[in-house]
């Protein structure tokens, strides 16, 4: 899958003035990419990611998925795109408190009619991510690192081609953060593309490209 | 849980478990609606059948009773309240002579304790096998063949054909048992007039008992007395006119009163209708209230749950999926509440139906299992429907809220 963005701009009002949360950003992501998106708080990372998955419509510019304009698709097709092609790890806590870790992971599988066994798949992912012992724990019983792994398992359940992670390690200690990035690298080696937004400059070097955001502008440099 | 199938329905149930008390409260509201509708429908069904039976079995057009006993006679007819009142038998010939009278038959009432079967007094009804037209329609063969010590019992007398019943010192064989009528006949015992007169003559205490000032009568000899005369009028003649003619000619002489059968049926139908209307109005009111309350609670909680709803969408759920989830939640509440309400109504109505109908003082008959199932299904359907109706506005607001900004609000 090839995900391209052309001249994305999104502006918001703050008081009397308009400002661009994302300004004229263009990029393209191919199969197997592993890109770190760094930038200070408020630089527009989350806004960019949300436009990339068709959740937030840009004021101008377009997103192309294998050459098709995401925003000229129907709403239900955009939902299917998110469900089938993308694994998304949102910023902050994003697990449902009344479901076990395992069922949180299975949820995206069941948002569409599918054949197959989500349970087996979720268990495989749990063992792959080293959290098999947490299957029946509830989110409030889990640590930040464990929550991130469960969210990663959830992002992987539908075998996406691209995973977007929004500051997946911002509230973790450095060792745990490294382990998470380690998992990203391993999965990337298995063919999953990654776009990871982060504050952490050191960890960002684990990707094979670093994109920088600054006041809504996207600057790409080779990794 | 982990090994069970993961469906939106299951997810809905899990979501409901987050606010158990609130949701139980909502379910209780639907339960009350269901209990009122289901219970009310069953009562109404039983009363309607009672009314049908009443109009079909009131073989007489006019009932002549002693003065002052009109209400007592009505109560005896509808509910089998044992009653004792007498007038002289000559009245029969006088009434027969009134123009418009096509047929008439006397009955003799006696209240008695039958130790072996009933804890309360039952009405013993003596009838005239030759002229009878009240009982004949549904026990024609038996009536003319009853022996000296044979009786027929109403459906609610706890005994079977062939059993022996003992009262006033004599034993009688139960020759037949009537089908339920929903009226006073069900708690009565029937025997030919001659058998009843013989009973009174043969019992040393009974004539004394009947001299009791309460009865104001000394039945000596008993065969000179009857309790009521059932009159059939000529076809095309108004029962009311004939009744009035009888009153005009003989009321003073014999001290008479009359009951017009049509009026009983009409009065019963009127009360029944009033009851049904109020039951259904109350049910409709609770239904609307339930929908309103559930709808309010859902729309309030939807704004609390914006982040959760947005997460589903973020993970790729269609709007219709999220709407379906909400509908399942509302539907489950309503269905659960309704089932509980129906069960409660069922458990209250059947054991206590005698009590309820005694309070209502209307004729009633049991209804078929099929109709009960029908009422239950109707109740379930209306309750089930209230779920989607109640969350309609929340579902509609879902189509408008902005997933992205509600996710941001949560951060
Ligand atoms: N819905 C909105 N309304 C108004 N302003 C917004 C909205 N969404 C984002 N912004 C603004 O746009 C800018 C970019 O926000 P964004 O969340 O993309 O930053 P970020 O790089 O993800 O920051 P962080 O690292 O803290 O998550 C911020 O200044 C934010 O205040
Ligand atoms: Mg952000």
What pLDDT does residue B218 have?
Answer: 63
**A190 shares contact with chain B (CB less than 8 Å):** no
Reading the block at residue A161, the tokens are 């081609």
Is ligand 1 within 6 A of the CB of residue A91?
yes
CA–CA min distance B275, chain A (Å): 47
Residues from chain B contacting residue A154 (CB–CB below 8 Å): 315
Q: At B391, is the secondary structure helix, strand, or coil?
A: coil
Q: Residue A111: which of B317, B403, B407 has the nearest Cβ?
A: B317
Q: What is the mean pLDDT of chain A?
A: 92
In the reported structure, the alpha carbon of residue A195 is separated from the centroid of ligand 2 by a whole-number distance in angstroms of 13
| Pairing between β-strand B121-127 and β-strand B188-192 as defined by DSSP bridges | parallel
Select the more confidently predicted residue: B309 or B363: B309
Q: Which of A69-73, A170-174, A190-194, B351-355 has the lowest mean pLDDT?
A: B351-355
In the reported structure, the alpha carbon of residue B334 is separated from the centroid of ligand 2 by a whole-number distance in angstroms of 41
Q: Residue A82: which of B14, B316, B407 has the nearest Cβ?
A: B316
The candidate with the shortest Cα–Cα distance to B108, out of B130, B85, B74, is: B85
User: Ligand 1 pocket test: which of A8, A9, A12 has the largest number of ligand atoms within 8 Å of its C-beta?
Assistant: A12
The residues that bridge with B173 in the sheet, in sequence order, are B150, B164
The length of chain B is: 411
Residues from chain B contacting residue A84 (CB–CB below 8 Å): 316
DSSP one-letter code for B365: -
Give the Cα-Cα-Cα angle B366, B372, B374 (nearest 5 degrees): 140
In the reported structure, the alpha carbon of residue A53 is separated from the centroid of ligand 1 by a whole-number distance in angstroms of 16
**A59 shares contact with chain B (CB less than 8 Å):** no
What pLDDT does residue B333 have?
Answer: 94
What pLDDT does residue A19 have?
Answer: 92
Is the predicted pLDDT of residue A14 greater than 50, yes or no?
Answer: yes
pLDDT band at B210 (very low <50, low <70, confident <90, very high): low
In the reported structure, the alpha carbon of residue A164 is separated from the centroid of ligand 2 by a whole-number distance in angstroms of 12
The candidate with the shortest Cα–Cα distance to B168, out of B213, B106, B122, is: B122
Tell me how far apart the alpha carbons of residues A26 and A60 are, in angstroms, rounded to a whole number.
12
Is ligand 1 within 6 A of the CB of residue A41?
yes
A170 to each of A197, B28, B286, how far by Cα in Å?
Answer: 10, 46, 52
Tell me how far apart the alpha carbons of residues A166 and A17 are, in angstroms, rounded to a whole number.
27
In the reported structure, the alpha carbon of residue A10 is separated from the centroid of ligand 2 by a whole-number distance in angstroms of 15
CB contact under 8 A, B315 and A83: yes
CA–CA min distance A43, chain B (Å): 15
Give Cα B214 distance to the centre of its chain: 32
What pLDDT does residue B223 have?
Answer: 83
What pLDDT does residue A93 have?
Answer: 85
Is the predicted pLDDT of residue B375 greater than 60, yes or no?
Answer: yes
Tell me how far apart the alpha carbons of residues A52 and A110 are, in angstroms, rounded to a whole number.
23
Select the more confidently predicted residue: B195 or B53: B195
CA–CA min distance B14, chain A (Å): 7
User: Ligand 1 pocket test: which of A45, A57, A90, A217 has the largest number of ligand atoms within 8 Å of its C-beta?
Assistant: A45
Q: Using the structure block, give the residue that is written with the tokens 């991130």.
A: A148
**Domain segments of chain A: what residues?**
3-222
Tell me how far apart the alpha carbons of residues A45 and A213 are, in angstroms, rounded to a whole number.
7
Sheet with A86-89: list strands edge to edge: A86-89, A162-166, A193-198, A34-39, A209-214, A217-222
Q: Report the chain A residue with the minimal C-alpha distance to residue B411.
A: A92
Strands (E), B137-240: 150-153, 164-167, 170-177, 188-192, 225-226, 228-233
Q: Report the chain B residue with the minimal C-alpha distance to residue A100.
A: B2
What pLDDT does residue A38 have?
Answer: 94
Q: Report the chain B residue with the minimal C-alpha distance to residue A53.
A: B314
What pLDDT does residue B167 have?
Answer: 75
Q: Which of A9-18, B73-82, B188-197 has the lowest mean pLDDT?
A: B73-82
DSSP one-letter code for B66: E
Reading the block at residue A22, the tokens are 């994302």
Considering every ligand atom shown, identify the ligand nearest to the alpha carbon of residue A214 and give its number.
1
CB contact under 8 A, A82 and B15: no
CA–CA min distance A126, chain B (Å): 13
The candidate with the shortest Cα–Cα distance to B128, out of B146, B101, B153, is: B146
Tell me how far apart the alpha carbons of residues B343 and B372 are, in angstroms, rounded to a whole number.
12
CB contact under 8 A, A111 and B321: yes
What pLDDT does residue B166 have?
Answer: 80
Reading the block at residue B308, the tokens are 């959760």
- The mean pLDDT value for B248-271 works out to 86
Encode chain A in three state secondary structure: CCEEEEEEEEEEEECCEEEEEEEEEEEEECCCCEEEEEECCCCCHHHHHHHHCCCCCCCEEEEEECCEEHHHCCHHHHHHHHHHHEEEECCCCCCCCCCCHHHHHHHHHHCCCCCCCHHHHHHHHHHHCCCHHHCCCCHHHCCHHHHHHHHHHHHHCCCCCEEEEECCCCCCCHHHHHHHHHHHHHHHHCCCEEEEEECCHHHHCCCCEEEEEECCEEEEEEC
What pLDDT does residue A223 have?
Answer: 47
Nearest CA to ligand 1 atom 25: A41
How many CA atoms, within 13 angstroms, populate the side-chain half-sphere of residue B32? Answer: 14
What pLDDT does residue B54 have?
Answer: 77
Is the predicted pLDDT of residue B117 greater than 60, yes or no?
Answer: no
Tell me how far apart the alpha carbons of residues A124 and A130 are, in angstroms, rounded to a whole number.
10
Residue B39 is inside which H or E element, if any?
A: helix B20-57
What pLDDT does residue B1 have?
Answer: 45
Q: What is the mean pLDDT of chain B?
A: 84
Q: Would you call A97 exposed, middle or buried from its count of C-beta atoms within 10 A (0-12, 13-18, 19+)? A: exposed
- The mean pLDDT value for A102-108 works out to 95
Atom in ligand 1 nearest the alpha carbon of residue A50: 18
Tell me how far apart the alpha carbons of residues B280 and B36 are, in angstroms, rounded to a whole number.
8
Q: With b meaning 16 or more CB within 10 Å and e meaning fewer, what string describes A119-145?
A: bebbbebbebbebeebbeebbeebeeb
Select the more confidently predicted residue: B246 or B2: B246
- The mean pLDDT value for B402-407 works out to 68
Architecture per CATH, domain A3-222, reads as 3-Layer(aba) Sandwich (3.40)
Q: Report the chain A residue with the minimal C-alpha distance to residue B399.
A: A75
DSSP one-letter code for B178: P
Reading the block at residue B218, the tokens are 């000394």
First-last CA distance in chain B: 30
Torsion angle, CA of B376/B377/B382/B388, rounded to 10 degrees? 130
In the reported structure, the alpha carbon of residue A34 is separated from the centroid of ligand 2 by a whole-number distance in angstroms of 19
Global ipTM: 0.92
Nearest CA to ligand 1 atom 4: A12
Residues 65-94 of A with CB under 8 A from B: 75-76, 79-84, 86, 88, 90-92, 94
Is the predicted pLDDT of residue B205 greater than 50, yes or no?
Answer: yes
The candidate with the shortest Cα–Cα distance to B181, out of B134, B111, B143, B145, is: B134
Q: Are B125 and B108 in contact (CB under 8 A)?
A: yes
Q: How confident is the model over A44-67, as pLDDT tens digits?
A: 999 999 999 998 889 999 999 999
What pLDDT does residue B332 have?
Answer: 95
Give Cα A96 distance to the centre of its chain: 17
pLDDT band at B337 (very low <50, low <70, confident <90, very high): very high
Is the predicted pLDDT of residue B254 greater than 60, yes or no?
Answer: yes
pLDDT band at B219 (very low <50, low <70, confident <90, very high): low
Give me the helices (H) in B305-368, please. 306-314, 319-360
Q: Which of A11-15, A48-52, A101-105, B54-58 has the lowest mean pLDDT?
A: B54-58
Q: Using the structure block, give the residue that is written with the tokens 């009350």.
A: B32
pLDDT band at A181 (very low <50, low <70, confident <90, very high): very high
Q: Which of A117-126, B28-37, B210-219, B264-273 has the lowest mean pLDDT?
A: B210-219
- The mean pLDDT value for B275-281 works out to 91
- The mean pLDDT value for A87-92 works out to 91
């Amino acid at each position: 899958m090839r995900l391209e963005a052309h001249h994305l701009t999104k502006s918001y009002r703050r008081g009397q003035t308009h400002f661009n949360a994302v300004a004229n950003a263009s990029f393209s992501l191919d199969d197997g990419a592993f890109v770190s998106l760094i930038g200070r708080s408020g630089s527009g990372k989350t806004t960019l990611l949300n436009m990339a998955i068709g959740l937030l419509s840009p004021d101008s510019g377009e997103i192309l998925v294998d050459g098709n304009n995401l925003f000229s698709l129907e709403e239900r097709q955009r939902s299917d795109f998110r469900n089938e092609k993308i694994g998304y790890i949102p910023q902050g806590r994003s697990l449902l408190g009344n479901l076990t870790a395992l069922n949180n992971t299975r949820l995206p599988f069941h948002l569409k009619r599918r054949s197959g066994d989500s349970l087996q798949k979720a268990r495989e992912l749990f063992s792959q991510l080293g959290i098999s012992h947490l299957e029946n724990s509830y989110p409030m019983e889990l640590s930040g690192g464990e929550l991130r792994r469960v969210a990663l398992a959830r992002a992987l359940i539908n075998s996406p081609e691209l995973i977007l992670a929004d500051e997946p390690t911002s509230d973790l200690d450095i060792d745990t953060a490294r382990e998470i990035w380690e998992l990203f690298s391993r999965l990337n080696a298995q063919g999953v593309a990654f776009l990871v937004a982060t504050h952490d400059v050191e960890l960002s070097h684990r990707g094979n490209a670093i994109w920088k955001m600054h006041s809504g502008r996207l600057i790409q440099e080779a990794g | 849980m982990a090994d069970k199938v993961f469906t939106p329905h299951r997810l809905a149930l899990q979501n409901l478990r987050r606010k158990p008390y609130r949701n139980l409260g909502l379910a209780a509201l639907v339960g009350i609606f269901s209990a009122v509708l289901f219970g009310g429908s069953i009562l109404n069904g039983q009363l309607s059948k009672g009314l049908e039976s009443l109009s079909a079995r009131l073989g007489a057009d006019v009932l002549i009773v002693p003065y002052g006993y009109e209400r007592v006679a009505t109560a005896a007819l509808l509910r089998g309240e044992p009653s004792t009142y007498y007038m002289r038998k000559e009245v029969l010939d006088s009434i027969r002579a009134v123009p418009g009278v096509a047929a008439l038959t006397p009955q003799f009432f006696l209240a008695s304790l039958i130790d072996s079967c009933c804890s309360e007094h039952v009405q013993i009804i003596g009838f005239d096998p030759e002229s009878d037209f009240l009982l004949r329609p549904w026990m024609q063969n038996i009536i003319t063949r009853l022996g000296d010590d044979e009786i027929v019992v109403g459906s609610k007398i706890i005994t079977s054909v062939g059993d022996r019943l003992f009262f006033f010192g004599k034993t009688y064989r139960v020759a037949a048992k009537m089908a339920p009528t929903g009226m006073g006949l069900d708690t009565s015992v029937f025997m030919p007039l001659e058998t009843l007169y013989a009973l009174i003559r043969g019992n040393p205490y009974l004539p004394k008992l009947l001299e009791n000032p309460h009865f104001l009568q000394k039945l000596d000899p008993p065969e000179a007395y009857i309790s009521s005369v059932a009159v059939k009028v000529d076809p095309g003649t108004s029962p009311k006119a004939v009744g009035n003619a009888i009153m005009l000619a003989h009321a003073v002489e014999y001290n008479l009163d009359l009951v017009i059968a049509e009026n009983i049926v009409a009065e019963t139908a009127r009360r029944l209708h009033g009851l049904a209307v109020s039951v259904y109005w109350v049910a409709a009111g609770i239904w609307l209230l339930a929908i309103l309350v559930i709808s309010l609670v859902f729309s309030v909680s939807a704004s609390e749950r914006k982040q959760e709803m947005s997460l589903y969408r973020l993970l790729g759920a269609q709007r219709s999926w999220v709407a379906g989830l909400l509908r399942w939640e509302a539907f489950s509440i309503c269905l659960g509440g309704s089932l509980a309400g129906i069960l409660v109504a069922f458990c209250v109505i059947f054991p206590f139906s005698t009590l309820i109908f005694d309070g209502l003082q209307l004729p009633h008959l049991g209804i078929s299992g099929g109709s009960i199932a029908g009422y239950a299904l109707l109740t379930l359907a209306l309750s089930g429907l209230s779920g989607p109706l109640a969350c309609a506005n929340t579902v509609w607001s879902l189509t408008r809220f902005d997933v992205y900004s509600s996710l941001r609000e949560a951060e």
